[in-house]
Amino acid sequence: MKFLLDFFPLIAFFASYYLFDIYVATGVLMVTSVIQTVGNRLIAGHWEKMHLLVLALALVFGTITLLLQDPLFIKWKASIVVWLFGVAFLGRLLFGRNTLRGLLETSMGESLDAPRRLWRNLDITWGIAYMAFGFANLWVAYQLSESSWVNFKVFGLLGMTLILTLYTGVRIFPWLPEHTTDPDK
């Protein structure tokens, strides 16, 4: 359920863009981001910082887009979101904290005993990748058509994040807790 809620605004934005236009899609993104954030609060019992950040940016940049009738603002939102995530990955390292390790251990409910150097390198990789994703988003926004940007936002950014996730999985696989099953059960 949570997985579907996480992608609800993106799917709704994509569908409404192709059914209507960028301005309807922007309004839909704003409304579905509110639904996502509140829905997650009801399901998880707490406010998720990531959802609150994305909601705030969607509301600010969406409002500017609608008021000025200029889609450039909503295009910038995607870059700002990934840049902030990149800064979080890199910035927390300055304080000796591993963002990715914390995220994975929280989601798995188990400790992962991979070497500190691996966690640091993965955080650096994610941080730099997110910074690059933000610049790639702006390049597409300024150089290609609006529909190309929408496709890139939905499939390109998501695809690049999936590749990064797979790379991370391969790197931490040797340190994942072993889950053995008892054949008698």
pLDDT-derived band at 114 (thresholds 50, 70, 90) equals confident
Q: Where among 69, 90, 125 does a domain terminate?
A: 69
Same domain, 64 and 75: no
3 state DSSP class of 24 = helix
Pair 150, 177: CB distance under 8 Å? no
Q: How confident is the model at residue 179 (pLDDT cuts 50, 70, 90)?
A: very low
Domain assignment present for residue 161? The answer is yes
Give which of 123, 119, 132 is closest to 90, Cα–Cα. 123
For residue 97, the enclosing domain spans 71-177
Q: Per the domain annotation, does 182 fall within a domain?
A: no
Claim to verify: residue 130 and residue 95 sit in the same structural domain: yes
Specify whether the CB–CB gap between 88 and 101 falls below 8 A.
no
Amino acid 30: pLDDT: 97
Do 61 and 76 lie in a common domain?
Answer: no
How many structural domains comprise the chain? 2
- Domain-terminating residue out of 40, 69, 98: 69
